[in-house]
């Protein structure tokens, strides 16, 4: 796939590790949906914000890095995902491809934090674990009933603080998903990658 100069690749280095879940079978549908599209890209504006978030992580937690699970997702892949979940309880977690996901614009990223040994921090639920406990908007409730621990919340806040301080917006029902700008603004001013 040829991308314009509006997009920048996220490459593994001292700040980032890449594990594109939809470019493997290690995802909630159990299929490699990305085929040959197996590198992580973001719109340059989102990539600049991500670089800033990585700097915050490294400054505040030396040895920690960001682990990228998903970035730019072509709309063709969005259609495959949508067909898998349409009519199921998971449908609410996947954007209708006709409207477009923020991933389809290269303006969203799914990620976590890994420690100095390369081990992901325990966030209480896994990536793409579509459970109530994955929802940042309900963390107080799940902390109170013991489903989530103080350590889980602390780890989530390490990620959330760096991302929000860099201009990202947390998705209310997925601790791992961050948009680089408001949805209405992105849909009005950016191009979907087919």
DSSP at 109? E
Per-residue pLDDT, 1: 67
β-strands 169-170, 65-70: how paired? Answer: unpaired
Per-residue pLDDT, 122: 98
Q: Which long-range contacts (CB under 8 A, 24 or more apart) does 58-65 make?
A: 58/14, 58/15, 60/158, 60/161, 60/162, 61/113, 61/158, 62/116, 63/115, 63/116, 64/113, 64/114, 64/115, 64/116, 64/158, 65/14, 65/15, 65/16, 65/17, 65/113, 65/114
Which residues are CB-neighbours of 40 under 8 A, at least 6 positions away? 9, 10, 18, 20, 68, 70, 71, 72
- Total domain count, the chain: 1
SS3 label, residue 83: helix
Cα–Cα distances in Å, from 82 out to 59, 66, 71, 87, 139? Answer: 39, 27, 17, 9, 27
* 174 annotated active-site: yes
Q: How many CB atoms lie within 10 A of CB 71?
A: 25
SS3 label, residue 136: helix
- Is 13 within a domain? yes
Q: What is the CATH number of the domain that holds 19?
A: 3.30.1380.10
- Is 194 within a domain? no
SS3 label, residue 165: helix
Q: Which residues pair with 170 in a beta bridge?
A: 178
- Is 92 within a domain? yes
- Is 46 within a domain? yes
- Is 2 within a domain? no
Per-residue pLDDT, 2: 76
Share of the chain above pLDDT 70, in %: 99
Name the residue range of residue 100's domain.
Answer: 7-189
Per-residue pLDDT, 37: 86
Please give the structure tokens belonging to residue 96: 């209708």
- Is 63 within a domain? yes
Which residue among the candidates 60, 129, 174, 194 is catalytic per the annotation? 174
Query: Could you say which residues of the chain have pLDDT below 70?
Result: 1
């Amino acid at each position: 796939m040829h991308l314009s100069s509006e997009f920048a690749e996220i490459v593994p280095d001292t700040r980032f590790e890449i594990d594109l879940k939809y470019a493997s079978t290690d995802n909630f549908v159990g299929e490699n949906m990305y085929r040959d599209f197996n590198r992580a890209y973001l719109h340059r504006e989102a990539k600049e914000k991500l670089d800033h978030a990585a700097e915050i992580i490294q400054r505040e937690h030396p040895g920690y890095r960001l682990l990228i699970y998903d970035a730019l997702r072509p709309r063709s892949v969005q259609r495959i995902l949508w067909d898998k979940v349409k009519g199921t309880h998971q449908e609410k977690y996947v954007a209708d491809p006709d409207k477009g996901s923020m991933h389809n614009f290269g303006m969203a990223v799914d990620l976590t934090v890994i420690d100095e040994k390369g081990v992901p921090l325990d966030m209480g639920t896994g990536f793409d674990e579509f459970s109530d406990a994955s929802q940042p908007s309900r963390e107080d409730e799940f902390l109170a009933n013991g489903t989530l621990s103080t350590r889980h919340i602390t780890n989530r806040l390490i990620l959330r603080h760096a991302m929000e301080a860099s201009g990202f917006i947390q998705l209310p029902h997925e601790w791992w998903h961050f948009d680089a700008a408001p949805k209405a603004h992105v849909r009005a001013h950016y191009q979907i990658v087919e």
